[in-house]
Structure 1
Amino acid sequence: MPMGDVDGWRTLGVRLAQLRRAAGYNQHSFAPLTGYARSTIANVETGRQRAPREFWQRCDELVGAAGSLLSLYDQAMRQQQGPPSMPEEAELEAVDTHAAPTTVARTSMSPVDPAIVPHWMSMLRILAASHDAFGPRRLHDVVRGELNIIRRHRAGAAGQTLRELLRVESRWAEFASWTADNLGDSQDAAYWLRQSLSMAREAADGRMATYVLMRQAQRAVERGDSAQAIALAEFADARKESTARDRALCAVRTAQAAALAGRRARCQSALQKAHSLVGAAEGLDDPDTIGLHCTRTYVLAYEGQCHLILGQAKQSIAVLEAVLRAWPSAYRQDEALARAWLATGYANLGRVDEAADQGEQALTIALDAGSIRLIKALSRVEHELRSRRVTDEAQRFRDRLALADQVVGRMGQ
């Protein structure tokens, strides 16, 4: 590589580091907002790795550089001699090596019928409803198979049809991530979210990109990373490209993350925002809304969880008991989560048999669904019960959960 080329990329990287720090980001919090790994940010800032123009445009927006990073990028490209090398592939987490890449070579297959786009959107809605009711078992492989078919059709598409297929594939990839999460495969889930975000950006689908950022915030919450979760959720919400329900989901993620950080006032304001946005959406849903599951019931359940995280077991129990009395039957997995949180609240207050009863109900749903994610959520109930008096009901729940952990874990392998 010519010396001038090296200096150009190094200058660009140094400027990014300066602006990133000035904007209040460290490399760990900044990386997920760009869609690349922290190691990529580190390499780019030292000039050891090149990144595509899309990366620099995103960085320019995040740090408020007013086009200066893009200008430096264009200057570095002009200094470069010969054709540009391919940027290194970077993922938020380890990549599932058996999955196909986002970019597909164009083929000579017959022109793609645009009518296939609504077909796949309808099919996705059916599978999503099935997942909500019955869980991820066997669905994940079906979704991945359909993604391969969509990808092959995209290879022969052009113009608006190509863009629409990218939008469809982005939504299917997010669903693949969701099924992987429920099967306990964190790496696969991270990979498909990264694919979804990449395709959403390529299709200029701002709403889907925002939704994926919200999902990344949700995964950060479940890892206990409150700082990253807040950064992702607030960045997603600030984009203002989503519908009211989708923005309400961003507010819920902010509330969860704030609760993890012990920021009660921030948590409460985010929950109030979520309730307001859901109320505004009633009867006025945009047909392009992705998070239709974000209802008043959904927000109330997560309000109960936030109380629990903040050590307010009595408030959590009051909210969750009320919301579970009228829980919609279509969302059984979220019901199991709410019952797991209620069981934890009971256990915190020494109400052992009530905790065991709610834990048993949640466990039944988890086993029916084959959801490792739900089994993990119930592990906290078991942990709380260890220090409580032993009853027959509590011991039965603990024994059954231990067996379920082994059985469902083997099903997910």
Structure 2
Amino acid sequence: MTDPHDVGDAWRALGMQLAELRKAAGYTQHSLAPKIISARSTIANAETGRQRPDRSFWERCDEILQTGGILAASYDRVVAFQRNYQRRKAIAFTDSVTPALGDAPLPTCDVQAGPAEETSSALGTTADDTTIVTVMIEGRPRRVQLSRRALLHAVSGSLMTPFTGVDVALRADAVRVDPALVEHFAVLRSVLVESDNRVGAAAILPTARQQLGHIAGFRRAARGGLHDAFLRTEARWAEFAGWLSDDLGDRAAGDWWLAQALTMAQEANDAEFSTYVFARMAQRAAEAPDRDRVLGLACAADRSGSAQAPVRAFAALQRAHGHAIAGNTSAFQAAIDDAHHLVISASADSDGLGSFCTVPYVWAQEGDGWRRLGRPHAAITCFDRALDAWPESYRRERGLYLARTAAAYAAAGNPERAASEALNALELAHLTQSARTRREVAAVGSHLTRTFPTEPGVADLHAALAAFAKTT
């Protein structure tokens, strides 16, 4: 077996090659960063092998340094070398799940696979090429092990048949709908959530829409408790489609999908998910002209009667934002305290609906609130605490909160740090194709250009934004 240190040596050799080519072309790390839509720290870490950017990073370096594709070709060789090591070390399974999914009917199945922002607690890793997906079935967590190849197949929608061995071509008008399909769609949704964090919403949304069509067909054919189980499943997929649409900047589609999710959740008498969707509506209202509705929607979430602490914490955070928008500092702080207490009380049972609502997430939301209240230094402290503990898999949300950190630094009169954080956020926006993050970085860039036009870092950010615009 290849010694794992040799893999690290291969990445370090690739980084040294970048450093040599960069210097030969007359660039410093600082001057190259905006040209390749990256942060200086990313280049520095890549050159020492501490960070392993994806192929697009090396392609951009090749283009700017005019290497003729040398770095991308070297990257491909390193990745192939690493994969060979991983194949030798990986446990023996390929595309299928490790545990067989049960054949017992699941008419009362309550599917609580991770919501659009949820991966770190619901998805873990084992061997280098496997992932563990957690889904909630009848209130109990089930862990399913998948290969990384299966995740890639999920992006194109080709995972369906090999995943469970269930014939998903089953006609909607068949006499019997297999109850195991409810769990199947719960697991598949969790896989797509994980894939979304890796490849972005643009690659995932078409698959999500396709699977919603399948689920609707099975729901129409099902009866009794199984019908309601499919309805609850469909509600969760609709909310996921709304989240993806929002991230791509299609707010009208996000509105429609979320309204569908709420209607189906209430029809199925699903109090937990109704609470969650009301809270999501409040969250979205805070970013739209309907800010006056945030507090009312958050209170509607509270009235829906969730018993799960993470969901109630998520609703409390929206209440906090409603108070911040109204300028009520004491009520904002009280709601934030409620959220902190609920999250801490739920720490022993973090799988399931709302499990993304962790202590770092609450800190990030508190930072948003202080920013709305005109307290940028307090916001910076909260954002820093959140990002220090942020899960690596939440790349898109890290980019979003880096953009908001940049806005806080700009408001605090620190243009150099604001530009640096904005560049880091822009790099993640490029990797995850997040329209939300790109918009927020652009807003920071416009503010800095107007207010601090002579700052070198601001000029770098302006150049990076211009380069980014050419690629989109």
User: TM-score when scaled to structure 2?
Assistant: 0.61
Moved more, 125-134 or 222-231: 125-134
Shift of 1:168: 0.5
Tell me the amino acid that sits aligned with residue 400 of structure 1: A
Are positions 1:394 and 2:458 aligned together?
A: yes
Tell me the amino acid that sits aligned with residue 205 of structure 1: D
Deviations 1:110-141 (A, max 9, x none): 31000010010011111112223442121111
- Counterparts in 2 of 1:246 and 1:340: CA distance versus 1, 3 Å: same
Which residue in 1 is equivalent to 2:424? 361
Equivalent position to 1:183, from 225, 233, 248: 248
* Contact 2:336/2:362 (<8 A) preserved: yes
Shift of 1:403: 4.4
Shift of 1:332: 1.3
Which residue in 2 is equivalent to 1:226? 291
SS at match of 1:222: coil
Distance 1:242 1:380 in 2: 39
Which has more helix, going by share of residues?
1
Which residue in 1 is equivalent to 2:22? none
Shift of 1:376: 1.6
Deviations 1:74-120 (A, max 9, x none): xxxxxxxxxxxxxxxxxxxxxxxxxxxxxxxx963231000010010
Which residue in 1 is equivalent to 2:237? 172
SS at match of 2:202: coil
* Contact 1:375/1:405 (<8 A) preserved: no
Distance 1:220 1:182 in 2: 15
- Counterparts in 2 of 1:237 and 1:407: CA distance versus 1, 3 Å: farther
Shift >6 Å, 4+ stretches: none
Distance 2:194 2:432 in 1: 13
1:4-403 alignment, distance < 5 Å: 108-285=173-350, 289-385=352-448, 386-403=450-467
Which has more strand, going by share of residues?
2
* Contact 2:402/2:422 (<8 A) preserved: yes
Distance 2:321 2:396 in 1: 18
SS at match of 2:177: coil
Shift of 1:183: 0.5
Shift of 1:337: 1.7
Distance 1:151 1:131 in 2: 22
Shift of 1:405: 4.8
Distance 1:107 1:120 in 2: 15
Shift of 1:298: 0.3
Distance 2:298 2:199 in 1: 28
Tell me the amino acid that sits aligned with residue 314 of structure 1: H
Distance 1:226 1:157 in 2: 40
Tell me the amino acid that sits aligned with residue 362 of structure 1: A
Shift of 1:202: 1.7
Shift of 1:379: 2.9
- Counterparts in 2 of 1:133 and 1:260: CA distance versus 1, 3 Å: farther
Shift of 1:164: 0.4
- Counterparts in 2 of 1:201 and 1:306: CA distance versus 1, 3 Å: same
Distance 1:142 1:268 in 2: 40
Q: How many residues align?
A: 301
Tell me the amino acid that sits aligned with residue 212 of structure 1: V
Shift of 1:402: 4.2
Distance 1:297 1:284 in 2: 16
Distance 2:199 2:173 in 1: 40
Shift of 1:274: 0.6
Deviations 1:20-41 (A, max 9, x none): xxxxxxxxxxxxxxxxxxxxxx
Shift of 1:242: 4.1
Shift of 1:396: 2.0
- Counterparts in 2 of 1:293 and 1:107: CA distance versus 1, 3 Å: closer
Shift of 1:350: 2.3
Deviations 1:320-359 (A, max 9, x none): 2232222210211221122111111111222112111100
Identity %: 34
Shift of 1:255: 1.3
Q: Unaligned regions of 5+ residues in structure 1, if any?
A: 1-105, 409-413
- Counterparts in 2 of 1:135 and 1:305: CA distance versus 1, 3 Å: same
Distance 1:177 1:388 in 2: 37
Moved more, 215-224 or 393-402: 393-402
SS at match of 1:223: coil
* Contact 2:309/2:345 (<8 A) preserved: yes
Distance 1:302 1:224 in 2: 19
- Counterparts in 2 of 1:332 and 1:111: CA distance versus 1, 3 Å: same
Distance 1:321 1:126 in 2: 29
Distance 2:468 2:326 in 1: 32
